[in-house]
Structure 1
């Protein structure tokens, strides 16, 4: 145990030493890290300085290039200045020459101005003379025009008078001939008037006779019209009676045929009502048809769909027997048929509901 304790103590002392060494190394590490961070920051600063120096170098290079360009431009401008100076000297010599020429031209202008003034005075005089002559010419022209118009008017009047004279001569001749014809016509009209008076008297007598005959015929016509109206009324009555008797006969015949073939009273009643419905449809009385078919539902126990099919089949058979064709689309699309279908379907639905309950 003592050995172990001694070893433990040794190990503890060694541990303490190692801990101290570790602490020292950590402190050294911390110092080195701090130095590293400082060196990194210094490096970054140096890098930025280096970048700045590089940019400055580039700018310097650019400045040098620009300076060289400006030098070349200066050289060019100097040469151009020399040229312009030479040109200025030439221009000055030309100006001196032009001034001398100007003086000469001014003297010439003065001379020409004097000449122009003289010419203008002469022109004014000539213009005044021209105006006088023009006024004279205008007056003479007006006089000539007036004379011409007067001569034209006189000529036209002469021509008109000549034509009027000719027309008057021709009219006189025509009037003479017309007078002769008129006298002849008067003589003829007198004779015709006498003849017409005689004819008028004869026609008046004939008219009186015709009027009396016309009155008699009117009376006869009125009598015949009243008789015709009465006969038409009687015809209508007889036709209606005939149709009624025919329908009754057909009904009786159909009843007899049904009575022979039917097995029960309800079946005969059902078939009779269907026939009466078809007969009403043929007459055009769809309301009566609807009523008869509605009544027929009481005398059958078939389903509503079967009944509707029976109605259509029986309608088709009845019309075939009469040599007619049934327009089933017109029948089924009519308002009365649609109402009948709604009622029959309602009744069927009620029956189904009651049977289910």
Structure 2
């Protein structure tokens, strides 16, 4: 390792914000589409549904996740109503606790979980197991056993090892399990590479191009106790356009047509996952659920007609798109520090009582966020 004496910070490096960032006309005004519908600022104090951020911090401490229940429910209903002919699964990995699981159940959505812990939360909330989908690329035998015992509605299989585990368990427990096969469609979604999940070189699912997806279907259909519902695809997160869904749907449906032709198996369902983007900054332009529903439904129907196969029942998995805009994280400022730059300029560092333990996104893949002072007017 080689080192050298550090020079002073240069003034031209003083602005470390993204290139698009500009000072708003009024720094104390909330950008409404970045917050829940019931968020407001009065005399500098942030409120949500009439609850003061300062009082919430005093009562519960910080860091604190604050979720607007009414806003959450409204967004859940918006997806349910827009995709009225489809099954809507709330993606529990976006944010799951007993309360949110109950809201999801009461609003008529289904729930997907990815771990035994998330399944335990759902069961504690008395979420109907038949409306739960169990995801995850590394489900243990104990987790699968628990899922079978409580009667989860479906298991999305992710590997040949998992198929073997399930086949053994259903024989041991004398049970039947409904499964879907997660496939990778070879789609490069327009998002950060760390949250793009349908390209070939990654840990999730079975490759369509490599033939593993078709082989997985063969093994499942020949295993007693495993009932194949259909195929599942998830192309990534923070996606604002539907072209990636179109490419994925076409490739998955072509596989479905091949399965029907070669194996004589009709698949009644198709799950295209979630990943619908939300606005973290003024540069983000999320799509309305009704627009997504119209475009995705047309994509599926058109491709099925072109392939001369039946149109499967569609499933989607919004998570962030429901809970993200309904939620903010409340921090307390601890220390501030002025650092001198060249030319008489300076930079102020502000430290809060949070970090990677409560939000790793900024450090992991340079995610941008919007912030506001919650307890007073900005000077």
TM range (shorter): under 0.3
Q: Between Structure 1 and Structure 2, which shows a larger proportion of helix residues? A: 1
TM-score normalised per structure 2: 0.16
Larger radius of gyration: 1
